[in-house]
Amino acid sequence: MTLSPPVAFHIASGSICASLILLRSLYRVLFRCRVHHQSCYRRWRLDDTYMALALLPLAGRTACISLSFMLNPSETTAPATAAEAAAQNMLVAQLDVNRIVSLKLHLPGRIFYALFLWTLKLCLLTFYSRFVSILPRGKIAIKILRWFIILSFCAVVVTTLVECHPLELVWELQTDPSYPACRRALANLLTMAICNACTNVALVVLPFPILRNTRLSRKAQIQLGFLFGIGAIVVMITILRLPFILRQPVSQQARSMWASIEVLCSCVVANTAFFYSVVKDSQHQHDDRAHHTSTVQEVNFYLQSLPSSPGDGRTQLAKQQATVSTA
């Protein structure tokens, strides 16, 4: 069976994301330090759990969107005619069922899409919290942002489910393409874009204060700033895709294409620090033996890891002269 370009694109982007997540998870599991010392980041952490869990909504979203376009490639929302059924060698009733199922799949597809992105946000927040929480008011900032992420996700889900009332209007076949207007899901589109952009901006800004408390070289600070700021790419995509989508009659194909691009970029951004650490680790031949002072004071900074305990983090920060460790 030959896949249409949209379906192939969604499957390819989902497969790339899944590969990145699986590579990260396998590395954490298979390449642990033989001795767990403070500079060792090769251990499974809470942010890795969030990243692994993101595979579930990623698979769900890819399956829903791909199956939706396979059942209804033309995105038709009108009842099937005898001519259309004959052209596809199907019964009229079966073609109607395919179109209804295709429209129904839009709802879980949108929720899985949001769940994947918001799981990555929690992954990044947990990652940042290991060093941001040692700053003054750092714990408060983490707690506020965590609740902001949770509540914004709830807002997206509620908007998705209540925009059409009753919900059956979403998949009801109608000859009038303008009815119902809620089927265009503009409220979902705008709520998703606003909440996504705001939470991403907060995650980009959150870790930058730590740079003021480091004694790293200028090169290391620039590298760290780049890793923190790369999330701005996702913010730009979120904002820029709106006019492209709204320029058309809110085509589901256009929405899904841009959503897949955003999913892919978000996954790359969320894993950039990890793969940067792996590259640096391979260059500096990370020591599996007990931790020693020269490793801590190593000038060539690469994303190591703070202890999860805030108290231990303060002690470690004092010992290392405010040298940041993150992955």
pLDDT at 94: 94
pLDDT at 285: 54
- When pLDDT is averaged across residues 270-288 and rounded to a whole number, the result is 73
pLDDT at 67: 96
pLDDT, one tens digit per residue, over 78-100 is 898 899 999 989 999 999 999 99
Q: Is residue 327 part of a domain?
A: no
pLDDT, one tens digit per residue, over 199-223 is 999 998 888 777 766 666 777 777 7
pLDDT at 208: 79
Reduce the DSSP state of residue 305 to 3 states and report it: strand
Q: How much of the chain exceeds pLDDT 70, in percent? A: 79
Mean pLDDT computed over every residue of the chain: 80
pLDDT at 243 over 90: no
Confidence category of residue 34, pLDDT binned at 50, 70, 90: low
pLDDT at 253: 86
Q: Is residue 125 part of a domain?
A: yes
Would you say 138 and 132 are in contact if contact means Cβ atoms under 8 Å apart?
yes
pLDDT at 18: 97
Would you say 41 and 68 are in contact if contact means Cβ atoms under 8 Å apart?
no
Reduce the DSSP state of residue 113 to 3 states and report it: helix
Q: Is residue 115 part of a domain?
A: yes
Q: Is residue 161 part of a domain?
A: yes
Q: Is residue 292 part of a domain?
A: no
Would you say 319 and 307 are in contact if contact means Cβ atoms under 8 Å apart?
no
pLDDT at 288: 47
pLDDT at 303: 47
Please state which of the ranges 58-72, 105-119, 278-292 shows the lowest mean pLDDT. Answer: 278-292
pLDDT at 181: 78
* C-alpha dist (Å) from residue 138 to 131, 132, 156, 297: 9, 5, 27, 25
pLDDT at 69: 94
Confidence category of residue 148, pLDDT binned at 50, 70, 90: very high
Q: Is residue 168 part of a domain?
A: yes
CATH number of the domain encompassing residue 155? 1.20.1070
pLDDT, one tens digit per residue, over 311-324 is 444 444 444 433 44
Mapping DSSP onto H, E and C, the string for 177-217 reads: CCCCHHHHCHHHHHHHHHHHHHHHHHHHHCCHHHHHHCCCC
pLDDT at 250: 60
Residue 125: domain span? 5-284+300-319
Total domains present in the chain: 1
Please state which of the ranges 122-131, 176-185, 234-243 shows the lowest mean pLDDT. Answer: 176-185
